[in-house]
A and B are shown apart, each in its own frame.
Chain A
């Protein structure tokens, strides 16, 4: 090996270890003069189980952690899963304590709704740019009470429950979510709001109407628009034009709904809001003109306390609303009522029939003390046609404005028989329809363009048509004919449409010579209007612009005279009422600022969210509910209002059509409901830069979208669900509360099928990889379903059963044998639905090759995992390389390192994997991330400090607090928790008792702390789940409340009560009370116990010098700990010495050599080869181990933690002539021969590989996990070397899990034969008698016997642990029957032993590959670092103590203790070292003299508990 490749491998090791520079491994380097200490903080991306574990390990090892999560709460996918395999633990239950640990950790800062935008800098000194989406709820202020969600009118499908249930727009992701604060789901602003000139929140009032909350809807409306009765009738509702539904069927009838609200209030006067309180101010404002603009401004200014006087030239208020709009559209009594309630009742003064300019001048008013003027003069002057004859005609021509004004003012008007209206706008329609009602026989609208160009609202035109108004289109009057000044006829000309003009409409062009005459009695020009400004001339002369309107500042509406403002039609020209309202509001704001002497221009642009775009995909078409109205015949001769409004039911039904485009409608009901003031709708996106030393990426996976396999019917067939949906169906917190039901009809399914490999091992949809977890989770789901309902008959259709993990084969066997789960090895290509029953037919081929068909009630698709687009984009932003499928690119020897130094990966982002591997990798990534930050440890952290426990008085009375947990419905569905809580109050010593939804949630923990302090409690009992998972959490709360943590007890009313007595609520409640009574009795006798602190030795003892041991040693040293590496053999390397190449072609020998060199070169590592551990004493933080060196010397080593990594070896069973027949060898033998022998004796060898040789049978009853991949690797190596070689691999299941599947695929493409055998029905017969080996078996895919005559038979014999029984006893750690060691928890503590300070890694835990071993070693070091990095630790108070007075020195305790702790001391009595005592209590139970007491479990406590067991009346 040359130096380059050594350097290369050093670099690789450095990467693996996470150290910044390879040379740091060479201790000869001089210190770098530019060295800048790294930042002692780590960024962890992703708040799933991986991110949480990494964060906890890093924070506990002295680093500041920023944990960012894209969603609103951490917890990840585990929060959605019901149970976990193979232990069947409740996923939420085992994760919940971790959630809370993360949530309350002082040195973990959780940033939700946050993503990394960019990562600058380099290892040790990164700057991460973070972007946080607004949550709209202040996390610190929110108490999680849920009052906000209770009032939220918007219902959305709940993504946490995979859209199978609904949630509100303000929501908490799930009950135990961390942070527990709610969040608002807001997608910008709804399009309808963009349409409204007055910025009325239409979405909110429509949604509130749908919820039947009419008063609130009105209040929302009135925030921006004081005139719902008016606008509900006459507004052309531009909001509806924007409505998303318009693109599907018809817009929601927003206008009609507004009208409904006004009607509703009129009918329910008691519901009208009380008059607002107004604080009067001294300033006075004069408003000139009582139209909509003036009235709006009057109201707004009055509400602010100004004195307001409205001057109106006409006798009544309303302006155009009264004098321009006919009564049949807007009845005057409605107008009057609204003006009165909205404006006049506020104390606005009124001077009608007063024309400012003539009756009183502005100057006079100024003198009277008016500080500001608002001119809202309207545009009441109709324009003339300006055609010949018009001026001379003195009667018979009246402009529409004047005509309507007269009619509305009650002036008797007779337009005659034949009436012509000129114009195509709404005013023309009003004039025409009014004429009709005044008795005209024939009313005709003349319009110069085509109908499509008419500016009137389409419904107005339709209504006119219904009333039989005639339309003469493309026609224009050119001359008026009159006799004696009286109109006789109109001369018109036909028009045609030419080129488009500036307005985009096609310009009407006269057709020459097409003139014609129309006999007429009345002609009403309705072409446009302008303001009447003359009377004001002296005041406003200079303000009139060339359009004849008032010139104002466009923002402030201020005229050139500072105290005069103007708004409405006189400024804008004729416009709609809602535009006038908007202008009135704007003017009022300016005047208010003017009078308050504030800046008129600052912050005038209203805050607008992004326009929400909602797809109408999948929305059911529903017709818009037409408002009832009078028929044309009923209405055409009178002025009665013709639209009749909605009934309540109609309004609700119509409002329900709203699609909630922006999700949150911003009705602000939540803001009002929130007592804590936490809701904060003005929240905005935030950015932040943080400094970190390294980065851990754990963004997790998303389920494969099952719709990409359409032949299976997902999304089309109601009863085809994904496996994650099925998890939710199983979950107690899911949509069916744990009862498995069919989505189509809610019935309980009996025949349930699982289809495996949906989106896995599938080249057709570019998911070639195996998703690793589906075989097991399907088995688990089948088994749990069966537990939920014994009638369920589960069937699993699969290709290979990939139960490759520890204990997985046993689990599958249990599912099959004990639960009757049927496994059918067949790939299902199609699902057919019965249209009558909604049952599903699956056609498949049996193992015997017969085609058959079977019907199922429910089909579950076992969907694979994939990396989301969002994560891929993040990787791109961070310059992290991904593979073809989006998984982070890593190497065999650096499984946790990305291409970017200092950026590590763990969990499914690196490839599909299950929870234990994810957790192990998470710890591993934490270890790697910590390596190069060791010098910055504890520089950015703060310590957890509990208040000094409160001293208890000698004779302090019992003051017990009881908290009874619902555990959602886990307990409450069976046990009457309120009843139990009420019962608790009656128990002696109990002063407080209450029931809580989830006792373990962070907000309830906070409340518990407050209650303990507030009520001065001195004992606490929680009746909930298991102390195994939750006791430490509750005890910590006691400590935070200043109470000794041993004054606590738990009653397990879930696992031991509600879960096991589902069917008998009454007796379960009785039992819960009894359990609680017992806990109260026990806690009554509880005494505070002392926890002693002791110093920690920072050394790590690593037992075993193979890959795991070497990796761990280097990493621990890199982290700054002293390492003692003990290896039984004379040289380091273990199994790695026998391997040659990795799957990706890397040179194992070279890697091992550089690894050993690095270990030997590191002064912090002491290597003891040829040595064995012979004795160990001590306890976490203070171990003493004796080792025997080759020379026979004994050495004593002091250290703080132990890592067991003694590995295992390839099994070598005496099978098929192994070691006797040289035509037979193992995979390792073969690998070595392949590497070491230039030719294997010939150019075209035929090799047969026999998988599971002596594995997965009664002798070695587990799967060795690596053999399939190893066989594939060696087979590929062979055919690469000898293209003519033939390889047959005889297998039971090919377990090339995860990305290993790609190699399997490659092998099949390379022509390697895979033939399945079954040890029971189709075991290969191996005949070694002849000159050639002869192997016969039936090929199940051909269903034909095959005969093979290989040159070589390679046995995949699997892996076995080394002889380690003695070592296990010596270290007092548990071993399974098969010789592998047992971790503390199969799921969440995969590298810990149950006893503190002891860890395991590598094959000693179970068979595993090189990358898995490296990550596990790294994980074990990270776990150990949480101990080794602390200068001191606390001892538990739950230890046995001997009262020497009564000790008979009988040695019973010495013999009974499984941990060899008790000893006989110099005083000749038994003594138990509290630091060693594990608190099991066996000695206390065994002691004949009754002189050993176990803290927290004293005789008094237990006797009291037992005494309380009996039911007493």
Chain B
């Protein structure tokens, strides 16, 4: 299966490990991801806040590139995903010649396709048995459902299914789609602290030792907030936040390197060694 790949800015910056793990997993599963040539900003943050038309047109251009490629495009970052979908559903934003439509897929949707999921199950070499994890979806990959096409936007299952597929046990909880305060992280840290406190409190209450998400903003926000001096969590109680593809990669036997996990603000090695997944030396992908 060959798809277009739109990484967006996060995956080239703060969430590089997301990008790496996606590409490694895709390769392992025989999914060919072709990065869209000459892609640009999706217009999610600054443009969206300052110039609505521009933000729409930025995504429209990306969409146009995807259509030119003629392949369905997978968009790991939910903010980019949301903008691309919005552009897709707003013909006014799309200028120029009309091309055949392509599907805009979130990463979790792609990984949940029956054939991909079967591939993951078949390729597991070190199942993550004993890993109790909270699957956290955040807002943008689910809402608004008419835009995202999410089937069960209040109680999504995509990440849970994937965690189960690699042998982990997803915990049952109600905060899957609560707001992580991503957009208020800088401006209103007080609100962010309270919302994140709620979410992480619920994770601990449910007995999970880690969180898994598919959103780079959520990941950054959830981990960073635990280091916030005003709400600092003792080191031993910090909850690492994984990208789903990182966990899949682990189960599929990706060689690990000590350096890799330094990308995480909350060191996940304690959790991993408890699973018997001791980070070892090895080649970076």
Q: Identify B154's interface contact among A710, A834, A835, A836, CB under 8 A.
A: A710
Q: Identify A833's interface contact among B153, B174, B207, CB under 8 A.
A: B174
For window 137-174 of B, CB contacts with A under 8 Å fall at 152-155, 171-174
The CA of A499 and the CA of B118, in the complex, are separated in Å by: 28
Q: Report the nearest B residue to A713, measured CB to CB.
A: B174
B152 and A835 contacting across the interface, CB-CB below 8 Å = no
The CA of A725 and the CA of B172, in the complex, are separated in Å by: 23
Q: Report the nearest B residue to A833, measured CB to CB.
A: B174
B153 and A835 contacting across the interface, CB-CB below 8 Å = no
A835 and B205 contacting across the interface, CB-CB below 8 Å = yes
For window 170-227 of B, CB contacts with A under 8 Å fall at 171-175, 202, 205-207
A710 and B205 contacting across the interface, CB-CB below 8 Å = no
Cβ of A716 under 8 Å from chain B: yes
Cβ of A711 under 8 Å from chain B: yes
Residues of A within 8 A of B152 (CB): 710
The CA of A711 and the CA of B174, in the complex, are separated in Å by: 9
Residues of A within 8 A of B206 (CB): 835-836
The CA of A834 and the CA of B205, in the complex, are separated in Å by: 8
B173 and A835 contacting across the interface, CB-CB below 8 Å = yes
Number of chain B residues close to chain A: CB under 8 A: 13
Cβ of A832 under 8 Å from chain B: yes
Interface of B is mostly: loop
B205 and A716 contacting across the interface, CB-CB below 8 Å = no
Known contacts: A710-B154, A716-B155. The answer to whether A832 contacts B205 by CB under 8 A is no
The CA of A713 and the CA of B172, in the complex, are separated in Å by: 12
The CA of A711 and the CA of B153, in the complex, are separated in Å by: 9
Q: Report the nearest B residue to A715, measured CB to CB.
A: B155
B153 and A832 contacting across the interface, CB-CB below 8 Å = no
The CA of A637 and the CA of B173, in the complex, are separated in Å by: 56
A710 and B171 contacting across the interface, CB-CB below 8 Å = no
B155 and A835 contacting across the interface, CB-CB below 8 Å = no
A836 and B174 contacting across the interface, CB-CB below 8 Å = no
The CA of A30 and the CA of B96, in the complex, are separated in Å by: 74
The CA of A831 and the CA of B175, in the complex, are separated in Å by: 10
For window 679-730 of A, CB contacts with B under 8 Å fall at 710-711, 713, 716-717
Known contacts: A710-B153, A710-B155. The answer to whether A833 contacts B173 by CB under 8 A is yes
Task: Give the most central of B153, B155, B175: most A CB within 10 Å.
Answer: B155
Residues of A within 8 A of B173 (CB): 833, 835
Q: Report the nearest A residue to B156, measured CB to CB.
A: A710
A831 to chain B minimum Cβ distance, whole angstroms, is 8
B154 and A832 contacting across the interface, CB-CB below 8 Å = no
The CA of A833 and the CA of B155, in the complex, are separated in Å by: 12
The CA of A832 and the CA of B154, in the complex, are separated in Å by: 11
The CA of A1442 and the CA of B206, in the complex, are separated in Å by: 80
Q: Identify A832's interface contact among B171, B175, B207, CB under 8 A.
A: B175
Residues of A within 8 A of B154 (CB): 710-711
Residues of A within 8 A of B153 (CB): 710
For window 826-845 of A, CB contacts with B under 8 Å fall at 831-836
Residues of B within 8 A of A834 (CB): 205
Chain B 64-77, CB within 8 Å of chain A: the 1/0 string? 00000000000000
Q: Report the nearest A residue to B175, measured CB to CB.
A: A832
The CA of A835 and the CA of B175, in the complex, are separated in Å by: 11
Q: Report the nearest B residue to A841, measured CB to CB.
A: B174
Residues of B within 8 A of A836 (CB): 205-207
The CA of A834 and the CA of B171, in the complex, are separated in Å by: 11
The CA of A776 and the CA of B152, in the complex, are separated in Å by: 32
Residues of B within 8 A of A835 (CB): 171-174, 202, 205-207
B174 and A832 contacting across the interface, CB-CB below 8 Å = yes
The CA of A717 and the CA of B172, in the complex, are separated in Å by: 10
Task: Give the most central of A716, A835, A836: most B CB within 10 Å.
Answer: A835
Q: Report the nearest B residue to A837, measured CB to CB.
A: B205
The CA of A326 and the CA of B175, in the complex, are separated in Å by: 61
Residues of B within 8 A of A831 (CB): 174
The CA of A833 and the CA of B206, in the complex, are separated in Å by: 10
Q: Report the nearest B residue to A712, measured CB to CB.
A: B154
A395 to chain B minimum Cβ distance, whole angstroms, is 47
B168 to chain A minimum Cβ distance, whole angstroms, is 16
The CA of A1325 and the CA of B155, in the complex, are separated in Å by: 48
The CA of A710 and the CA of B171, in the complex, are separated in Å by: 18
B174 to chain A minimum Cβ distance, whole angstroms, is 4
Q: Report the nearest B residue to A832, measured CB to CB.
A: B174
Residues of A within 8 A of B205 (CB): 834-836
A461 to chain B minimum Cβ distance, whole angstroms, is 19
B198 to chain A minimum Cβ distance, whole angstroms, is 9
The CA of A832 and the CA of B176, in the complex, are separated in Å by: 11
The CA of A834 and the CA of B155, in the complex, are separated in Å by: 15
The CA of A831 and the CA of B155, in the complex, are separated in Å by: 12
Q: Report the nearest B residue to A709, measured CB to CB.
A: B154
Q: Report the nearest A residue to B154, measured CB to CB.
A: A710
The CA of A486 and the CA of B167, in the complex, are separated in Å by: 58
Q: Report the nearest B residue to A716, measured CB to CB.
A: B155
Residues of A within 8 A of B175 (CB): 832
For window 22-42 of B, CB contacts with A under 8 Å fall at none
For window 47-100 of B, CB contacts with A under 8 Å fall at none
The CA of A833 and the CA of B171, in the complex, are separated in Å by: 12
The CA of A833 and the CA of B173, in the complex, are separated in Å by: 7
The CA of A552 and the CA of B89, in the complex, are separated in Å by: 65
B66 to chain A minimum Cβ distance, whole angstroms, is 31
The CA of A851 and the CA of B173, in the complex, are separated in Å by: 22
B70 to chain A minimum Cβ distance, whole angstroms, is 28
Q: Report the nearest A residue to B153, measured CB to CB.
A: A710
The CA of A713 and the CA of B176, in the complex, are separated in Å by: 12
Q: Report the nearest B residue to A838, measured CB to CB.
A: B172
The CA of A929 and the CA of B173, in the complex, are separated in Å by: 55
The CA of A833 and the CA of B175, in the complex, are separated in Å by: 9
A1274 to chain B minimum Cβ distance, whole angstroms, is 37
For window 792-845 of A, CB contacts with B under 8 Å fall at 831-836
The CA of A1391 and the CA of B135, in the complex, are separated in Å by: 59
B126 to chain A minimum Cβ distance, whole angstroms, is 21
A131 to chain B minimum Cβ distance, whole angstroms, is 35
The CA of A440 and the CA of B174, in the complex, are separated in Å by: 64
Q: Report the nearest A residue to B172, measured CB to CB.
A: A835
Task: Give the most central of B154, B173, B175, B207: most A CB within 10 Å.
Answer: B154
The CA of A717 and the CA of B207, in the complex, are separated in Å by: 18
The CA of A713 and the CA of B202, in the complex, are separated in Å by: 16
Residues of B within 8 A of A710 (CB): 152-155
A322 to chain B minimum Cβ distance, whole angstroms, is 42
Q: Report the nearest A residue to B134, measured CB to CB.
A: A835
Chain B 87-127, CB within 8 Å of chain A: the 1/0 string? 00000000000000000000000000000000000000000
A699 to chain B minimum Cβ distance, whole angstroms, is 31
B202 to chain A minimum Cβ distance, whole angstroms, is 8
Q: Report the nearest B residue to A836, measured CB to CB.
A: B205
Residues of B within 8 A of A717 (CB): 174
Residues of B within 8 A of A713 (CB): 155, 174
Residues of A within 8 A of B155 (CB): 710, 713, 716
Residues of A within 8 A of B174 (CB): 713, 717, 831-833, 835
A920 to chain B minimum Cβ distance, whole angstroms, is 40
The CA of A670 and the CA of B65, in the complex, are separated in Å by: 66
Residues of A within 8 A of B207 (CB): 835-836
Chain A 644-664, CB within 8 Å of chain B: the 1/0 string? 000000000000000000000
B93 to chain A minimum Cβ distance, whole angstroms, is 26
B190 to chain A minimum Cβ distance, whole angstroms, is 15
The CA of A835 and the CA of B172, in the complex, are separated in Å by: 6
The CA of A716 and the CA of B206, in the complex, are separated in Å by: 16
**17 pairs from A and B in contact (CB 8 Å cutoff):** A710-B154, A710-B155, A711-B154, A713-B155, A713-B174, A716-B155, A717-B174, A832-B174, A832-B175, A833-B173, A833-B174, A835-B173, A835-B174, A835-B202, A835-B205, A836-B206, A836-B207
Using CB atoms and an 8 Å cutoff, list the residues of chain B in contact with chain A: 152-155, 171-175, 202, 205-207
Known: A710-B154, A832-B202, A835-B205. 6 other contacts (CB 8 A): A713-B155, A716-B155, A832-B175, A833-B174, A835-B173, A835-B202
Closest 9 CB pairs of A and B: A710-B154, A835-B206, A832-B174, A833-B174, A716-B155, A711-B154, A835-B173, A835-B172, A710-B155
